[in-house]
Amino acid sequence: MLKLRNSFVTVLAALMITSLVLSGCGTNGTGGNSSGGNSAAPTTGSKGNAGNTGNAKPQDTGASSGKQAGGTIRVAMATEPDNLDPYLSAATDTGSMMDNVFDGLFEAGENSELVPALAESYQVSEDGLAYTFKLRQGVKFHNGSGLTSKDVDYSYAKLAGLNGKEPLSSKFAAVEKIETPDDYTVVIKLKEKDAAFLAANIIAIVPKDYEEQSVKPIGAGPFKFASYTPGQQLVLEKNDDFYDKDKAPTIDRVEFKIMPDPNSAVLALKSGDIDMVPGISSQGALQLGDGFDIVSGPQNMVQLMALNNTVKPLNDVKVRQAINYAVDKDVIIQTVAEGNGVKLGSNMSPAMKMYYQEGLEKRYEHNVEEAKKLLKEAGYENGFKLTITVPSNYPFHVDTAQVIAEQLKAVGIQATIKQIEWSSWLEDVYTNAKYEATIIGLTGKLDPQEVLGRYETKYAKNFFKFSNSEFDALIGQARQEIDVNKRAELYKQAQTLLTDQAAAVYIMDPSRSVAMKNTLKGFKMYPVQKYDFAAMYYEGK
């Protein structure tokens, strides 16, 4: 076995994305309705999409004050939880709330590294097919049971489908066998090399044989589930028995208030009814005045107009290319994102610096005549009708759809905007691909396989219905390539192919701003959407 450093940082530094730079305070935020979680799907939020990222530093605590023990943080959330079970949830917003309840073998660090959580060390075999994890001792789940290797076995068997049932996560498709030689050792054996596997181990570990996660979730995280009232709030309480005393929470309670209307959230923050809004626009920030802090940064996410590649006439690459030429992304960024977004050309943010293919954002510069030419060649000289389905509780996406609909008129495409609830979007669009076009945001991930693997023909939640054998081959090669430079080149080729095939209209990575009372300190930004309430506290007077 090849022994790797217990710090988890050295090897992962090559596998993870490089450090991100925060933008200045007060920029436009686009929180997001999100699907992420296990299935690596779409995201969105109060003004748009979620998945904030960045090499953000905690807020300045001030020289004259100290931590105040206890207290409650009330957070405005745009979406309802889609499922409290971490293995059945697809929404990133849900994951960011419930991440405080569950811990995995690792957790995501601020600088894209993996940080040890329930595992204290690991080894990888020379052939890259066996991963051995040593677990922390003395960890207790919220029901009082102690963590052992049997809990990891139970959790990963569910995820990989080794329990005789359908696998719950494609990230564990390569797992062939799980061995537990003792109570604190787990050996995962893979069918084939999978360079993305290590990053997958941030997923929650749940207690063995407990099957009520959707009703009363139980994990080993710093906060315990207290209650959930649909349409109103989700409440977490401090876990006094949290295993990592250095990271034990100071806050007693977190209340996630369900507030789909971003204006109401801003007013609630101003009036003192809410302490934190994780996604606020520049206009909303200006309304706050003194007494509030705003932390801003890139999201490492992709806002796009997904096109169903199997629906006529979108099954014609020339039609998809024509739509790309017809959409003016610069106008969308300036109007919808108030100038606070980075134009994209494929499903990768430049925040993923090592893997990002530069120049693709220039592939479809706005060109009405070229769009008309391609439509004529495809047999649609007079245009066609198109329905753009958008989750109604995300103004950022609705506004984007309205701008695009106007732009498409110039080439003869008559677009109708269909607004549906987020739960319906998850069911109809994301799960069953019953749509023509949609505006959504896809959250950033720690590994590029989770980002581009969404387009593989065999991926269960490939709601684009994109299918290309060359793309599948590139992604397959990249999954097994351990050399990070060769791996990066394969992902760059895959991005180029996605762009050439116009699988979707890739719009921007919007900046994200989080607003909170200026007495609330310790907020950090991560390369994935994560709210670490264990690190937050109120400043004493």
pLDDT tens digits along 224-276: 999 999 999 999 999 999 999 999 999 999 999 999 998 999 999 999 999 99
Which of the four pLDDT bands, split at 50, 70 and 90, describes residue 158? very high
User: What is the distance between the alpha carbons of residues 444 and 465, in angstroms, rounded to a whole number?
Assistant: 20
- Of 374, 337, 347, 344, nearest to 359 by C-alpha is 344
Residue 295: its H or E element: strand 292-298
DSSP for 443-467? Answer: ---SSHHHHHGGG-TT-TT-TT---
From first CA to last CA, the distance across the chain in angstroms is: 54
Owner of token pair 């003004």? 47
Rounded average pLDDT over 384-410: 96
Across 146-171, average pLDDT: 95
Res. 30 pLDDT band, cuts 50 70 90:
very low
Q: Is the pLDDT of residue 45 over 80?
A: no
Burial of 535 (0-12, 13-18, 19+ CB in 10 A): middle
Predicted confidence band at 511 (pLDDT cuts at 50, 70, 90)?
Answer: confident
Q: If we measure between CA atoms, which residue out of 48, 480, 23, 19 comes closest to residue 294?
A: 23
**Residue 84 Cα distances to 236, 260, 533, angstroms:** 12, 19, 18
> Which secondary structure element, helix H or strand E, spans residue 294, and what is its range?
strand 292-298
Give the mean pLDDT of the chain. 87
Residue 70 tokens, joined: 């206890």
Say what the pLDDT of residue 527 is: 72
pLDDT beyond 80 at 516: yes
Specify the pLDDT at position 65: 58
- For position 354, what pLDDT does the model report? 82
Domains of the chain: 302-510 (3.10.105.10)
The model's confidence at residue 67, banded by pLDDT at 50, 70 and 90, is confident
- pTM higher than 0.85: no
**Pick from 90-94, 129-133, 205-209: least confident:** 90-94
Given a cut of 80, is residue 28 above it in pLDDT?
A: no
Are 77 and 231 within 8 A, CB to CB? no
Mean pLDDT of 493-512: 96
pLDDT at 190 over 90: yes
- Give the mean model confidence (pLDDT) for residues 365-392: 97
